[in-house]
Amino acid sequence: ELLEITDRILADLPRVARTGGKAAIYIGNGHAAWEAALANTLAAGDLVLVLSTGRFAKGWGQMAETLGLRAEVMDFGTAAPVDADRLEARLRADGGAEVKAVLTVHTDTASSVRNDIAAIRSALDAAGHPALLMVDCIADLACERFEMDDWGVDVTVSGSQKGLMTPPGLSFTFHGARAAEARARLPRVSSYWDWVPRTEPEIFYQKFCGTAPTHHLYGLSEALTMILEEEGIEAVWARHRVMANAVWAALEGWGAAGPLRCNVEDRAHRSVAVTSVRTGEADAEALRGWCDREAGLTLGVGLGLDGPAAGSRTEGLFRIGHMGHLNPPMLLGTLATIEAGLKALGIPHGDGALSAATTVIAKAGS
């Protein structure tokens, strides 16, 4: 049974990432897939260009440095996507193709910025630059449309615990032909991270470099059935867009007479998987505390985006996660609970937020 489930998962995962390339499964969290992607494509001393729109691409770049790679960060702030023109200019200036890979995230889970991966690919192409394009799609695979092959992505990494609705503990790399060539050029890759035996095994245990993570595989198998067979991936993406629109409608309603704002002003650049909320002078930790204590609702901590506090819990920021297994009662319950917290704490807010959110849901269902 396990052999069959594993084969099905390995066939289904690329359908979710929309690639004809190969999926490797690692028993580890997202950080494991970060390391696997780097270990299979790059050698010590290679330069990677890190496109930062929050915290997560930087984290990937820092890991690259611990592997002996050199990382150059291009910082695009914490509320806007990668500027493809700036990227193109940087790559044009790299006539000797010193940059071996461009690392970026689809959704930055701290800022809730979503990057336009096709535009980033176009920048590489316009500059005629051969660097690999590697995308962290951990936060929003199976939430947001992601087209690995159509967008020209060479390596995608993801994890089990977000849009894929499975407990943390599995992560994935997806790679296409150019990444496979980069792997083939390396003199050696740690046998644990090497994606070759995992994707072209001679014997079953090589798929996991050891014992299979049986329970996670059962969970993931069910999640993939739900996504691909029962709901359909296009419908999954559409559902997440409706849920995100409802969150944003509520935030507009609250923000009409108070300090709450989406961190990302332009809807076109917001992730449908998570929304980072700025609370201005209002105390985000007090609101999180109230929701947790009084209602059992856990809101996401603000992952420090501003200067020296980065990495710590910041005061004026919290996050609403709306990824994965989510339906209107769960989401509307969340929004209504937040509103109760705003009332209880005397945080100023506009009146029409919940009505606006229910209107979004109503229209989507008609």
Ligand X SMILES: *Cc1c(COP(=O)(O)O)cnc(C)c1O
Given the structure tokens 């790399």, which residue do they identify? Answer: 173
Closer of 208 and 290 to ligand X (Cβ): 208
The amino acid at residue 97 is A
Of 96, 180, 193, 106, which is closest to residue 142 (Cα–Cα)? 106
- Pick the closer one to ligand X by CB: 168 or 232: 168
Contact residues toward ligand X (CB under 6 A) are 29-31, 56, 105, 107, 109, 136, 138-139, 159, 168
- Residue 143 CA to residue 16 CA, distance in Å, equals 10
d(Cα 201, Cα 193) in Å, to the nearest integer? Answer: 14
Q: How far is the CB of 168 from ligand X (least distance, A)?
A: 6
Cα distance between residue 351 and residue 348, in whole Å: 10
Of 254 and 318, nearer to ligand X (C-beta) is 318
Q: What is the CA radius of gyration of the chain?
A: 21
State the Cα–Cα distance between residues 155 and 242, nearest whole angstrom. Answer: 29
230 — phi, psi (to 5°)? Answer: -80, -45
Nearer to ligand X, 258 or 324 (CB): 324
Strands, sheet with 70-75, edge to edge from the N-terminal-most edge strand: 22-27, 170-175, 155-159, 132-136, 99-105, 47-52, 70-75
Q: Minimum CB separation from ligand X for residue 106, in Å? A: 8
Position with the least CB separation from ligand X:
30
- d(CA 68, CA 209) in angstroms, rounded, equals 24
CB-based contact 141:170 (threshold 8 Å): no
Nearer to ligand X, 130 or 168 (CB): 168
Q: Are 111 and 79 in contact (CB under 8 A)?
A: yes
**362 CB-side CA count, 13 A:** 7
Residue among 78 and 109 whose Cβ is closer to ligand X: 109
- Closest distance to ligand X from the beta carbon of 187 (Å): 28
- CB nearer to ligand X: give 136 or 315: 136
CB of 237 to ligand X, least distance (A): 17
Two tokens, residue 260? 């709450």
Between 30 and 81, CB nearer to ligand X:
30
Q: Which of residues 58 and 198 has its CB atom nearest to ligand X in the complex?
A: 58
Q: At which residue do the structure tokens 């071996």 appear?
A: 100
**Residue (of 270, 275, 285) closest to 316 by Cα position:** 285
Smallest separation, CB 318 to ligand X (Å): 16
Sign of the dihedral through C-alpha 11, 199, 24, 216: positive
CA gap 40, 42 in Å, rounded = 6
Shortest Cβ 144–ligand X spacing (Å): 12
